[in-house]
Structure 1
């Protein structure tokens, strides 16, 4: 009887050790790295689509912190992120100059587009440039939602106002202080115009019932939108992720994402 009790207790102990070991291995198997990322590429669902294949192949887990590009840089500078995905090159040049990164690489691109109320779309039929479209909005005091969050999208918006030679200081100018998805929802609610990346807009389009594309032109340099990845020199493991973003497997996933969600090419692989 005593022997049987001893064997039972020993079996329980072995089971506990086995489960604890499995839990530890499961926890330590995947090394987690934090990536500060712009909201536009995150809100489109792109990262959630392409990351699982990388995680499975490399035994690494990436945790994303979705904020505007300016805030992403602050998080990275503070050491609260190991890598960064943004679409404002000047921020990356600054990080490289201060040796917080050893360089950066472009991996996908899309375009900025101007969207706005469907009932005002016809007013923009003869517009020949995005700055002309912005000037028309300003002239008519139409509602315009600005992210106003030091994001790459906001910086590009300010650049276009400058090209239009007008100041965004009119009554219809609304500052959201939010990410791309939230700002699009606000524009939809207010019946306002907004500058957005095409991927986030088309991913959310079914829920944005009052908005449509009013101006787009892939030939205008100011509307080109390129995403870059960089990482801390102290986190050399992330070189695997940089290599993955240039791989054939990644390229195929980009094509699959475009086909599944857009039925056309939205994200374009940067060679």
Structure 2
């Protein structure tokens, strides 16, 4: 026998040859809905570029939806590795499938989920607003009412700090939260500009670029005259940076001391690059640019 056959007997594998390109996944309902949402969205992006893959992506998303609709939810949860809240992941899948197919059953699902996700409206506003063009007037009225209540709640941040954004507390600094705040406000501004003003979008980007406590340097490495140049990523041991990487930034220590140790990369709660936040930043940047281009 060959060395690989000694490590892994051939009767345990389809090919009879050892292969280390394995992926071990968790079949949780939240992860499945989140994956279906990503695949449904990808199908639109792939259309006209790779139609075969676009169709496969959409059909897989449909199959996952039907699979989860036909079983008891698998609610296993472990930290941030098994998906978010089930109802919120299901909302994402329903909205993306609605946008990709315009089928009424997905609109019905969005409508049914609205009461469940409205308690965390700020976190779900971007999906709820994205569905609006394909929903009915009753949904629009409900969403308008929720948006007004949300706008009123922003007064808490405006009273707390001069930047008018949610500056988080705890072990992880708040650039990602501020960016998410700006993205939610972008979608709501597009839907209800009479309620959510454009400044609520701009102020989040301004925060990342330097309008924040303790300093005025940019949290985006290499962007601006002064930016985060000691960060924790794949370069973590060399006290350098990756252009375009985004750090969490200012961490507020109890009771009210803002800190960012910009000379020490190993404070991951302040200086670690996170890929998802980088993607969110790119979206917000393009959203703001599109707003300036609007008449």
TM-score by length of 1: 0.24
Structure with the greater alpha carbon radius of gyration:
1
The structure where helix makes up a greater share of residues is: 2
The structure where strand makes up a greater share of residues is: 1
TM-score by length of 2: 0.22
